Amino acid sequence: MADVILISGSPRAKGNTEYAVNVCRDAIEKRGLTAKVISLRGKPIQGCIACGECAKNGKCSLNDALNDMLDDIKEADGFIIGAPVYFGTARGDVMNLMQRLSMVARANGNWLSGKVGGPVVVARRAGVMSTLQEMLMAFFISDMIVCGSSYWNIAYGHAPGDVANDKEGIATLEKFGDNVAKLILQLRK
């Protein structure tokens, strides 16, 4: 269990999404909160099959890695998820996760409501804004509280680790992580 759960939605080892999410994690930990990064590497996430089972048992009927994350996410005050841009949209598994997570939470008292966080997007060149907007849809309909930063939560890189060279992107993510932590602490007062 951790105060903030962060998901890295890339299948690549030591990829840019993981780097970007780790930047947010470090900023959160600097404020004294605990943070846990969960990687989707090696964890395929299927799409929702609209079976409605989650309303009956609180879990998803598709028995993949999503169910293993539910308790961690439910217990946390913060939720951040990062995605690489694939053909102008978020990687499919990331949206599969967001849609099924949103459905499970909604069908069981909307337990995502009030969590603080937001999406993070990495790309080589284009598609970042539409991807950010696509991911935000799930945050807003679930009544989560999305933090801003000095820019939108995007960072550029292609080969694994490239994103470290995007200084403005990294500074944006540091401030975003810091804002998430500050708001969680403020809401606890």
Residues β-bridged to residue 8 = 39, 82
Query: Any contact of residue 119 with ligand FMN (CB under 6 A)?
Result: no
Distance of alpha carbon 30 from alpha carbon 168, whole angstroms = 20
Instruction: Give backbone dihedrals phi and psi of 18, rounded to 5 degrees, phi first.
Output: -60, -45
Stretch that binds ligand FMN, among 9-17, 57-65, 66-74, 104-112 (CB under 6 A): 9-17
Query: Any contact of residue 44 with ligand FMN (CB under 6 A)?
Result: no
Tokens of 42: 């090696």
Nearer to ligand FMN, 78 or 157 (CB): 157
Cβ 103 vs Cβ 57: under 8 Å:
no
DSSP for 80-110, written as a single string: EEEEEEETTEE-HHHHHHHHHHHHHHHTTT-
Cβ of residue 137: shortest distance to ligand FMN, in angstroms? 19
Cβ of residue 127: shortest distance to ligand FMN, in angstroms? 4
Amino acid making up residue 93: D
Could you say which of 32, 42, 87, 109 contacts ligand FMN (CB under 6 A)?
87
Place of tokens 């909307």: 110
Query: Any contact of residue 10 with ligand FMN (CB under 6 A)?
Result: yes
Could you say which of 42, 125, 167, 188 contacts ligand FMN (CB under 6 A)?
125
Radius of gyration of the chain (CA): 15
Query: Any contact of residue 127 with ligand FMN (CB under 6 A)?
Result: yes
Could you say which of 113, 140, 158, 165 contacts ligand FMN (CB under 6 A)?
158
Query: Any contact of residue 133 with ligand FMN (CB under 6 A)?
Result: no
Give the binding site for ligand FMN (CB under 6 A): 10, 12, 15-17, 84-88, 122-127, 157-158, 160
